[in-house]
Every structure is written in structure tokens, then in C-alpha cells.
């Protein structure tokens, strides 16, 4: 049964929020909700964590994974976690801004990471650890960063130059940085939940979008988008998070075991993410519905110049120290 609104969930929340002590006679249940398909990198890693957690705890923990917005859409899931209606999420990093933790919006800055090695220096180092700690006052414990990959653009016309975006209505996830990015290209951004993106493309509500290849393919966006551009202009990643009260209330040995399961699931997720995106591009190519464009170095430079003003516009919002620390770490 799909639950539509948080207001309608009061009884569900009360039942789901039983303390760990009260569950001592049975398995500890972790409801892990996410918004993408099961066969995406995040979906597969969530299932891997479930498998590892249940195996490593000898069945003392049961993980229930709810993909494809079955329980909550983008705008609902963080509130649900804070209320205790679910215990674990893996939201995209832009979702933390409405909580007042805007530092995570740095990950939305165009071309901020030159490659995956530079990205991992940030997420797996001091900067990443400090960012996750900023969630704790919000009742959230950050466990890991998961990676989807670099984003591409799609529309029903070729997008090889910034001028091609002029006047196009483009779907974005809710992010002030992504809004500024699309406006810098001359497009009209429209923020929609991920579950609403594919229908909006199909119905012509928006002309195009940005996302990773694996998300585009599993949501069948390519079937209604005649052109894709392999721009790699932005990054899409997630933070795996858990309700802090729930996490802190777990027996120490159980918590440590789950942390180990999460580390192994994260290594698995890193291995499959790039392969999933490469496979998605090839599957889209084979489908024959979509022309795939690769930017020349000169075209890529033109895109970078067009979106560079976003840094000046957003630096004070995100936090100058955070942006500059990331740029220093990645050698920019």
C-alpha cells in the first residue's frame, strides 16, 4: 500500500517508532526508503546492505527496502526519517538544504569535480566527514556517501552549445544551485520530484532534464527524449543516513556490525556505479530512440564558461569556506 501524505501516517509512525528495547524479543527492523529503481546503483547497494546486515547480525536485524518512492517522495522522506517513520534513507545531497545544511549544495556546482578520483578525495576525507557531522543537530547520523555518477543532458533537440538551451523548460531536482545553473544556460528550470520527472517529460510539461544515464534509462526517459548530451557537467551523489535516536539506541555491537555492513555495501556501490552508467548509455544507444552527442573539448569549454558565474552567485549561500576547501582538495 502506498502511503500518500505524512499527515495520514500518524498511526503508522507510532507503530514504527517502537524503541529498540521493545523489540528485544524479535528482530530489529530497519525501514530503508529511497526514490529510485531497484536496478540503479543506489537500489542495488541498498539490497546489498540488506543482505550483509541480515547475514552479519545472524538475523537479529531485518532490513526492509522500499524503492521507487513506494513510501515517500523526495520532499517527504527527510521529515519521515526525523519522525521515525523510517530509519534509513539515501537522499541526494541537495535535499539537506531545506534542513538548513546548505554546505551539501557544493556538490551541485557545475564541473566542481574533474573526475572520480577528485570526488573521492572529498567524500572519503576530512571534508566528507565534517559534512556528515553537520547533520547530527538535525537528528540525523550520516553513515556513508554513495555515488551515482556524472550527469548528462537530454531534450528533444540537440544540446551542444549553451545557446541551444535558450527558453527550454528543464526539469531539475529542488536545488538553488541547479536553478542558477540552468538559468546561466538560458533555460527555464522547473523543480520536480524524481518520481514526477519521467511523466513530465512524456507529457511535455518540460522539454528536457539532467540526470545520470542509469537513472534516465531505468525510468525510460530516453523513450521520450530524442537527444542526449554526454556533458558530465555535474555530479549526483547520495548520503546514506539514519535516524540518530534509533542509531544511538542500538546495542553497541549491533551498531558496529551494521557500520561494517555499510562500509562493505559502500565499496560495492562504488564498483557498480560507473559500470551501471556505461551499460545504460550502451542500452540507450541500442534502443535506437535517441541520438547521443559527445562534446568536443571546445564545446566543453564553452559550457564551463557559461556556467562559471554560478560559483559567484552561490558561494555565499553554500559557505565560502566549504566551496574553497573542496576546490583546494581537488586541485582547482
> Is the distance from CB of 150 to CB of 232 less than 8 angstroms?
yes
pTM: 0.87
**Is 4 contained in some domain?**
no
Which range marks the domain in which residue 172 is found? 28-330
Report yes or no on 17 lying in a domain: no
Structural domains counted in the chain: 1
Long-range contacts at 291-294 (CB < 8 A, ≥ 24 apart)? 291/158, 291/226, 291/227, 291/228, 292/227, 292/228, 292/229, 292/230, 293/158, 293/159, 293/160, 293/227, 293/228, 293/229, 293/230, 294/229, 294/230
Distance CA 164, CA 159 (A): 5
Which stretches in the chain have pLDDT values below 70? 1-25
In a domain, 32, yes or no: yes
Query: Would you state the pLDDT for residue 25?
Result: 64
Q: Look at residue 22 and tell me if it is in a domain.
A: no
What's the pLDDT at 87? 97
Whether 9 is in a domain gets the answer: no
Domain-embedded: residue 255: yes
Predicted local confidence at residue 27, as pLDDT: 94
Query: Who's near 155: CB < 8 A, 6+ residues apart?
Result: 164, 168, 170, 207, 208, 225, 226, 227
pLDDT at 114: 93
Q: Distance between CA 178 and CA 197 in Å, rounded?
A: 15
User: Does residue 19 form part of some domain?
Assistant: no
284 falls within a domain: yes
pLDDT score of 13: 44
What pLDDT sits at residue 4? 45
The enclosing domain of 286 has a CATH number of: 3.40.190.170
Amino acid at each position: 500500500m502506498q502511503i500518500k501524505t505524512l499527515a495520514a501516517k500518524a498511526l503508522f509512525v507510532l507503530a514504527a517508532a517502537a524503541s529498540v528495547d521493545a523489540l528485544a524479543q524479535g528482530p530489529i527492523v530497519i525501514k530503508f526508503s529511497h526514490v529510485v529503481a531497484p536496478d540503479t546503483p543506489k537500489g542495488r547497494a541498498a539490497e546489498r546492505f540488506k543482505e550483509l546486515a541480515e547475514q552479519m547480525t545472524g538475523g537479529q536485524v531485518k532490513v526492509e527496502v522500499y524503492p521507487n518512492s513506494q513510501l515517500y517522495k523526495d520532499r517527504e522522506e527527510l521529515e519521515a526519517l526525523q519522525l521515525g517513520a523510517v530509519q534509513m534513507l539515501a537522499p541526494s545531497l541537495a535535499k539537506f538544504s531545506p534542513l538548513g545544511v546548505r554546505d551539501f549544495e557544493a556538490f551541485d556546482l557545475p564541473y566542481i569535480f574533474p573526475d572520480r578520483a577528485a570526488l573521492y578525495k572529498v567524500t572519503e576525507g576530512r571534508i566528507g566527514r565534517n559534512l556528515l557531522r553537520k547533520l547530527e543537530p538535525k537528528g540525523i547520523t550520516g553513515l556513508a556517501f554513495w555515488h551515482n555518477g556524472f550527469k548528462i543532458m537530454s531534450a528533444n533537440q540537440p544540446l551542444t552549445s549553451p545557446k541551444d538551451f535558450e527558453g527550454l523548460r528543464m526539469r531539475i531536482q529542488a536545488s538553488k544551485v541547479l536553478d542558477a545553473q540552468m538559468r546561466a544556460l538560458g533555460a527555464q528550470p522547473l523543480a520536480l520530484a524524481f518520481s514526477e520527472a519521467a511523466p513530465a517529460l512524456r507529457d511535455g510539461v518540460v522539454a528536457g532534464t539532467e540526470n545520470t544515464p542509469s537513472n534516465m534509462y531505468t525510468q525510460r526517459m530516453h523513450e521520450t527524449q530524442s537527444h542526449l548530451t554526454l556533458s558530465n557537467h555535474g555530479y549526483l551523489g547520495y548520503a546514506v543516513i539514519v535516524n540518530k535516536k534509533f542509531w544511538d539506541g542500538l546495542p553497541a555491537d549491533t551498531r558496529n556490525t551494521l557500520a561494517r555492513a555499510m562500509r562493505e555495501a559502500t565499496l560495492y556501490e562504488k564498483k557498480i556505479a560507473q559500470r551501471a552508467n556505461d551499460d545504460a548509455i550502451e542500452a540507450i544507444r541500442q534502443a535506437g530512440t535517441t541520438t547521443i552527442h559527445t562534446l568536443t573539448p571546445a564545446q566543453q569549454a564553452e559550457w564551463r564558461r557559461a556556467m562559471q558565474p554560478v560559483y559567484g552567485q552561490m558561494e555565499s549561500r553554500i559557505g565560502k569556506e566549504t566551496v574553497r576547501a573542496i576546490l583546494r582538495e581537488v586541485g582547482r
